[in-house]
A and B are shown apart, each in its own frame.
Chain A
Amino acid sequence: MKNNQVSVRKPRMIIILFLLFLANCDLIYMHREEKGAVTLLLLLVLLVLRGGWNILKKEEPEVCVKSFDFTAIFLVMVFIWGIIIQHLGIGDPVLYPSPMRVVSMMIDEFPRFVDNFIFSIVLLIESFIIAFVIALPLGLILGCKDRARRACQSYIKILSLISPIAYLPYAIGIMPTFRAASVFVIFNAMFWSILNWTIHGVVNFDSEYILTAHLLGIPKSKYLFKILLPGILLDILSGVNGCITGGFTVLIAAEMLGSSRGLGYFIKYFASFLNYHKVLIGIIYLGLSVCFITWLFDGARNRLLSWQMCERKRSYGILWKIRKIK
Chain B
Amino acid sequence: MDVLIRDVSFNYSQEKKLIDNCNLHIKSGEVLALLGPSGCGKSTLLKLILGILKPIKGEISINGTLEYDRNKIATHLSEERLYPWMTLEENLRLVGTKEESKKCLEEIGLSEWADYYPAAISAGMKKKLYLARISMLEAEMWLLDEPFNGLDLNSKQVVQDFLRKKKGNKTIIMVTHNPQEAIDFADRVIFWDSTKKRPYQEWINHNDNKELLDYMLHNALGMEA
Binding site for B on A (CB under 8 A): 206, 208-209, 211-212, 214-218, 222, 226-227, 230-231, 233, 305, 307-308, 310-311, 313-314, 320-324, 326
| Chain B residues whose C-beta falls within 8 Å of the C-beta of A206 in the assembled complex | 81
Please tell me if B99 contacts chain A, counting CB pairs below 8 Å. no
Q: Please pick, from A209, A313, A323, the residue contacting B115 in the complex, using a CB distance under 8 A.
A: A323
CA of A233 to CA of B84, assembled, Å: 12
Quick check: B119 and A208 within 8 Å, CB to CB?
Answer: no
CA of A326 to CA of B114, assembled, Å: 13
CA of A314 to CA of B125, assembled, Å: 15
**B90 to chain A: closest CB distance in Å?**
8
**A212 to chain B: closest CB distance in Å?**
5
Quick check: A322 and B117 within 8 Å, CB to CB?
Answer: yes
Given A209-B83, A226-B86, 15 more pairs with CB closer than 8 A: A212-B80, A212-B83, A215-B80, A216-B133, A216-B137, A218-B95, A226-B83, A227-B83, A230-B85, A307-B84, A308-B84, A310-B116, A311-B119, A314-B120, A324-B117
Please tell me if B94 contacts chain A, counting CB pairs below 8 Å. yes
| Chain A residues whose C-beta falls within 8 Å of the C-beta of B115 in the assembled complex | 323-324, 326
| Chain A residues whose C-beta falls within 8 Å of the C-beta of B95 in the assembled complex | 216-218
A to B contact number (C-beta, < 8 Å): 72
At the interface, is chain B mostly helix, strand, loop or mixed? loop
Quick check: B85 and A211 within 8 Å, CB to CB?
Answer: no
Number of interface residues of B (CB under 8 A): 23
CA of A208 to CA of B82, assembled, Å: 10
The 7 tightest CB contacts between A and B, nearest first, are A311-B119, A314-B119, A310-B117, A310-B119, A230-B85, A307-B85, A307-B117
**B98 to chain A: closest CB distance in Å?**
14
CA of A305 to CA of B86, assembled, Å: 11
CA of A218 to CA of B79, assembled, Å: 17
| Chain B residues whose C-beta falls within 8 Å of the C-beta of A307 in the assembled complex | 84-86, 117, 119
Please tell me if B71 contacts chain A, counting CB pairs below 8 Å. yes
| Chain B residues whose C-beta falls within 8 Å of the C-beta of A211 in the assembled complex | 77, 79-80
Which A-chain residue is minimally distant from B138 (CB atoms)?
A217
CA of A312 to CA of B103, assembled, Å: 30
CA of A321 to CA of B52, assembled, Å: 36
